[in-house]
Structure 1
């Protein structure tokens, strides 16, 4: 609506009506018609505030800071609505979801066959869907006084985290990091001691990008056999901060909040620093691995094996695990309402918190899946 297409009196009338609607609180929560349009390609330009007031969820610590931003946005847009999220770790979150203790779960790795079967029972015989809502770059954080720049390949990382490279002056590291020549300091690996989707993703990355140097497989428990464990992303970051010579895999937001140095990764096309832009290049290349168009489980090799110039390949996708069907009406509407807002307005503050905003083409697919929940 512009001044060139309407008389001045019409503009004044519309402005008055808009002000009255805002004062009545109607602008915060859209009408039924607005809610039905929330899943368009614009990813919810109007608010959908349907469903019960309080949702529950649990799981991934990697997405904790993003969920806090989503929940604050949700409460602002939909007064009286809230999500109680317990950042208990992906494994714990899946268990809580399968047992019906929470409405949905956050997980840094996809359900395995056994978990998917259990989730289907919880969902009344219907499949659980993987909705990648949060993409968080995984930083290779290190504490090496005097070393402001560190370049590592997937093969280097596989050897460090399996113990075959054990000192910072190893010749395999010196080629790309001449400042390390003669450094005899022992490398102190720090890993997640609790079961973690971050660990699962990191070990999957090592298997894809390690050129055969990682033979230990993936999984939520660390299998490298070296180093010292710490609980949660907070614990890992804090341990690196206080332990000279240490290195760890941890989400960028936790590396940033603890002011840790972060290595560049050479994916075969030159060293790439971790930024929202470089991680976003890898996300854009992501492909799905499910026959169900609404189940957006990712083919991780399409991300971790990327050799695109300027792409930072170590990006973790956090899924929201939801029932495709099987919720009661108020819960289904609330889950859709929360996730719709998170996929749209909730993305605004993610870069500042160390995450990668959803690429537009991926957002369109995600919103279609959210709106298909019933």
Structure 2
């Protein structure tokens, strides 16, 4: 039976957990923004129950790379017997590696497709793969345009920019949204993901839903827009935007803030343009519905929300794992690590990195599901 319950996400501020120590995570491409109190790390680590030993391999979403940095450092400080290796290869690649039996779990910024669930039954011998929402947050539209520090765009204009229908920054459509800005005639360099990505899937779902007259491409993990330039991973887009005047691209907020990039405010039809912030993303995620079946907890997001201060370009990153039939050699360590990430300490550690913790109603179900993994 499909569950369709509206999620009410708490928007109260949460304390930031900062960490120090050696990073065991194998990753690439983005700035490491961690740092702070070792005592806080020790306190969080003391609450972790360590199970299993050896190597725990996972890959997928680069959107959650900075969250994984924090989680891995804290977990490793408590569970030295487990070597966790998470590679931010992109959601598409992560799912494929999981379906090939190469990893214990995968990270994906979009829920599994029906054909992927069907394929998972070969890996999950007595069950199938399920989606566990673990972290949420805004997809920021980052840009670099000399002399312009405040920029407003809407869904229609973004669709035209990323489909090469608007190619100069002083285009009339952009001027109309920014009457007080001194917009130059600089050529727009629109960057998109070259790898299959859940971030792309969510971004194009937003364009297709909020600007259907101008974005005719079906939402997908693979980029389908015309023109533009491809970059590998969120870190690749952030680096290219930072290095090129006139550039624009879509990245998770943590990549924008970590690289000191300006971000677009969205004209959603609300009274005021909406900034990409964790709190504003939380207001949009509050409109999500649980649509997963059985133990699957996949969500349906509302990309057309016009609620005040609700930033609609959001994504939820899922950890994908077998409900039954997980590999015996990695099951205990997988459950131990996911119990920590879903714990109060694990979720509180996300705020400083630009992520939104998962609502209590859902994260409670995630914890219960992790306990039941076999």
Interval containing the TM-score (normalised by the shorter chain): 0.7 to 0.9
- Structure 1 residue aligned with 2:264: 263
Please show how residues 209-220 of structure 1 align to structure 2 within 5 Å.
Answer: 209-220=210-221
Q: Which has the higher helix share?
A: 1
- Structure 2 residue aligned with 1:163: 164
Measure, in 1, the Cα distance between the counterparts of 2:229 and 2:326: 42
- Structure 2 residue aligned with 1:286: 288
> Counterpart of 1:122 in 2: which secondary structure?
coil
- Structure 2 residue aligned with 1:232: 233
Measure, in 2, the Cα distance between the counterparts of 1:278 and 1:45: 32
Highest Rg: 1 or 2?
Answer: 1
Q: Write out per-residue CA displacement over residues 126-182 of structure 1, whole angstroms, 9 at most, x where no aligned residue.
A: 121001112132110001111111111122211111122222222222222113466
Structure 2 unaligned residues grouped into runs of 5+: 1-44
Q: Write out per-residue CA displacement over residues 25-81 of structure 1, whole angstroms, 9 at most, x where no aligned residue.
A: xxxxxxxxxxxxxxxxxxx99533223443110111111111111112222333433
- Structure 2 residue aligned with 1:277: 279
Please show how residues 15-26 of structure 1 align to structure 2 within 5 Å.
Answer: none
1:128 aligns with 2:129: yes
Runs of 4+ in 1 over 4 A off after TM superposition: none
Measure, in 2, the Cα distance between the counterparts of 1:275 and 1:182: 25
Measure, in 2, the Cα distance between the counterparts of 1:298 and 1:358: 11
Change (3 A) 1:278 1:91: same
Measure, in 2, the Cα distance between the counterparts of 1:182 and 1:76: 50
> Counterpart of 1:241 in 2: which secondary structure?
helix
State the shift of 1:244 in Å. Answer: 0.8
Measure, in 1, the Cα distance between the counterparts of 2:183 and 2:107: 44
> What TM-score comes out, normalization by structure 1 length?
0.83
1:312 aligns with 2:314: no
Worse-matched range after superposition: 166-175 or 63-72: 166-175
Measure, in 1, the Cα distance between the counterparts of 2:318 and 2:135: 7
Please show how residues 48-63 of structure 1 align to structure 2 within 5 Å.
Answer: 48-63=49-64
Change (3 A) 1:182 1:347: closer
Please show how residues 1-374 of structure 1 align to structure 2 within 5 Å.
Answer: 46-180=47-181, 183-269=184-270, 270-292=272-294, 294-300=295-301, 302=302, 304-329=303-328, 331-344=330-343, 345-374=345-374
Q: Write out per-residue CA displacement over residues 327-352 of structure 1, whole angstroms, 9 at most, x where no aligned residue.
A: 24453332221111011222233222
Worse-matched range after superposition: 344-353 or 236-245: 344-353
Structure 1 unaligned residues grouped into runs of 5+: 1-43
CA contact (8 A) 1:350 1:357 kept: yes
> What TM-score comes out, normalization by structure 2 length?
0.83
RMSD of Structure 2 on Structure 1 (CA):
2.0
> Counterpart of 1:214 in 2: which secondary structure?
coil
Measure, in 2, the Cα distance between the counterparts of 1:79 and 1:236: 34
